[in-house]
Chains A and B, each alone.
Chain A
Amino acid sequence: MMSDAPIYLDNNATTACDPAVVSAMLPFFTEQFGNPSSMHSFGNKVGFALKEARAKVQALLGAEHDSEIVFTSCGTESDSTAILSALKAQPERNQIITTAVEHPAILTLCEYLEKEGYAITRLGVDKRGRLDMDEYRAALGPRTAIVSAMWANNESGTIFPVEQMAELAHAAGAQFHTDAVQAVGKIAIDLKKTKIDMLSLSGHKLHAPKGVGVLYLRRGTRYRPLLRGGHQERGRRAGTENAASIVGLGVACEQAMQHMAYENTEVKRLRDRLEAGILAAVPRCFPTGDVTNRLPNTSNIAFEFIEGEAILLLLNKAGIAASSGSACTSGSLEPSHVMRAMGIPYTAAHGTTRFSLSRYNTEAEIDRVIAAVPPIIAQLRKLSPYWGEKGPAENPEADFAPAYA
């Protein structure tokens, strides 16, 4: 008999806390309440736990020194810290190079900095979401303070060549930062072998709790803190440590190391099964992004002529949690900037649906989703003015050309 328990396929939005993470955290809400900065034994034990967590994050990132790990409150804080630091530390440089498909944590900050007078270069992507490295080389110059490019895209899962980009940035004397919030824990990372100066990660994307993040800061990188105050994090991020969450993040990193191979074989196999199953059963849909070079857990499918929020509402009714690049799910009135940057037409961009798996998903769940999706798509297409009795209108865009406001 088929189970009807809810199926969670929105792990790029956030993940469930691993049970081992939760149990490691619990003592730090009760008997281990000390402040790690204190001299007495209450604080001392917490300080030791933080040291242990730092070493586990260091191991997952392949950082050379544990002091390169700076705990923060979230990915956004790490991103802001990195970019603002690079500008403060190098006042003679006023250009930021980033990409058109970054997370709002980077793009909104850059828009603000543009108003403040900084020069922002946003690299475009092709239909598959890939960067043009020649465009990047041409953009680098003596005024480039920092390059910030995401390791993997949250919507399509497409992976950027950040190691190579960091080499090029260094050759131009610029710092290199990567928002690796989606990549950490899903693909192998060995920072000591790269020229990456700064990296952001977020705990809740890898089965740790929300409200904790990390800024990796390569030793010797010129740096100016965002938060000044106490000596926490060697003065690089003042504020009493979120001890319980940091301990949880340490355990999550350890678990991610252990499951790295599983993620890249079994989770990948389930993702491929899901994608192939849907593509075979549903006409007029296609996967977005660089399907040959993407995260093992992510599949983003554009369903033509219907809208993503409507898909999500019906999926939710069927007990399936996914997300969409549609305008209407964000309240921004604009379809996903990632889909638009890839040149995906409006009629398909609005119907993009992201399925993001985790190591907790099962084959039975995936088969249930493969069965549930086709009738939902058919039901919505019946309502669509772009769709005829039996299939898409002969020439959908010409057949239905509404007066647009």
Chain B
Amino acid sequence: MWDYSEKVREHFFNPRNAGLLDGANGIGDVGSIKCGDALRLMLKVDPDSEKIVDASFQTFGCGSAIASSSALTEIIKGMTLDEALKVSNQDIADYLDGLPPEKMHCSVMGREALQAAVANYRGEVWKDDHEEGALICKCFAIDAVLIEEVVRANSLTTVEQVAHFTKAGGGCASCHEGIEEILAKVSKEACTAPTAATKPLPPATPAAAPKLTNFQRIRKIEETVEAIRPMLQRDHGDIEIVEIDGKNIYVNLKGACVGCMMEAATLNGIQTKLVEALGEFVRLLPAAMLGKAA
């Protein structure tokens, strides 16, 4: 059972201004496709003063959708249209002494209905630009669409950054797996560096190739890495070869590649290219491993 405030219950059990409104001259019909809730807001506006003299609603929705609609009509009655347009979804939620995070979209729907009704009165067409995604962070009511937008816009790479930018994940922390999945998805799309297949299995016995001299071999490694560098640089990263010791090749990842969630995948991808080019098995290791790897 939802933890609804007394005020929400009261507005649900005894909704104000429910039903059709005679003489309505501004009507807003909106719905949330995800949730399936829908709301028709009817306004009677005095043309001289642009004051809302009466308002009513019809709602297809849950308890908090009905309560939010009821609260909205109470808030805006007597306001001018311009004053009413300043009412935010948070104002509706506050009027009801708060809504559970999963239910905040009910108040958003109320605000959208208001914008639509005012547009209808003014002979304008209202367009909805708000997309709603699956709820990720329940503590702060942040959905997947918003997180993904912010991650993309700011090139975020860690859960901590997401929490700083959106608050998502900053509470109980149980949604961190969901946030990591979004980060991985965006990072995978953005990264043009070669990445290995999900389970990279280097060939146990590489196809026999003509034996290279040491000099030829080093040049081949260099050429292969040089060919990959522009891809990394496009993502504001880079790579440099530090040392070649038998089958171990030590490199430094630089710039945006450092600490990128795809770092391991990037190394794996480059390693696969090197194995192909050289026709022998090599390992690509971070320079930090120099002297430590067998």
Contacts and interface: CB of A to CB of B under 8 A. Distances in A.
B279 interface: no
A404 to B, nearest CB: 4
A313 B36 contact: no
Contacts of A401: 29
A384 B39 contact: no
A387 B20 CA distance: 10
B198 A307 contact: no
A74 B34 CA distance: 31
A226 B33 CA distance: 40
B221 to A, nearest CB: 31
A349 B36 contact: yes
Interface string B1-45: 100000000001101001110000000011111111111100000
Contacts of B130: 405
A228 B121 CA distance: 68
Contacts of B38: 385, 400, 402
B187 interface: no
B33 A347 contact: no
A333 B60 contact: no
B65 interface: yes
Interface in A303-321: 305-310, 313-314, 316-317
A101 to B, nearest CB: 19
B126 interface: yes
B15 A385 contact: no
Given A383-B18, A383-B19, A405-B132, A310 B33 contact: no
Nearest to B69: A383
What band does the interface of chain A fall in when counting residues whose beta carbon is under 8 Å from B? 35 or more
Given A327-B35, A402-B40, A347 B29 contact: no
Contacts of B39: 385, 402
Contacts of A117: 198-199
A307 B61 contact: yes
B60 A384 contact: yes
Given A333-B134, A400-B38, A403-B128, A386 B60 contact: yes
A310 B102 contact: no
Given A385-B39, A403-B116, A403-B126, A305 B60 contact: yes
A309 B9 CA distance: 12
Interface centre among B33, B35, B105, B130 (most CB of A within 10 A): B35
A282 to B, nearest CB: 17
A307 B37 contact: yes
A316 B4 CA distance: 14
B62 interface: yes
A307 B63 CA distance: 9
Nearest to B40: A385
Contacts of B116: 403
28 contacts: A117-B198, A307-B36, A307-B62, A308-B62, A314-B13, A326-B36, A326-B62, A328-B37, A332-B135, A333-B32, A333-B34, A333-B102, A333-B132, A335-B36, A347-B36, A383-B59, A384-B59, A385-B58, A402-B29, A403-B31, A403-B112, A403-B116, A403-B127, A404-B31, A404-B33, A404-B128, A405-B33, A405-B112
Given A307-B61, A328-B35, A328-B62, 13 more contacts: A307-B37, A307-B60, A313-B13, A332-B134, A349-B36, A382-B18, A383-B59, A385-B29, A385-B40, A385-B60, A400-B29, A402-B38, A403-B29
Interface of A: 117, 305-310, 313-314, 316-317, 326-329, 331-335, 346-347, 349-350, 382-387, 389, 400-405
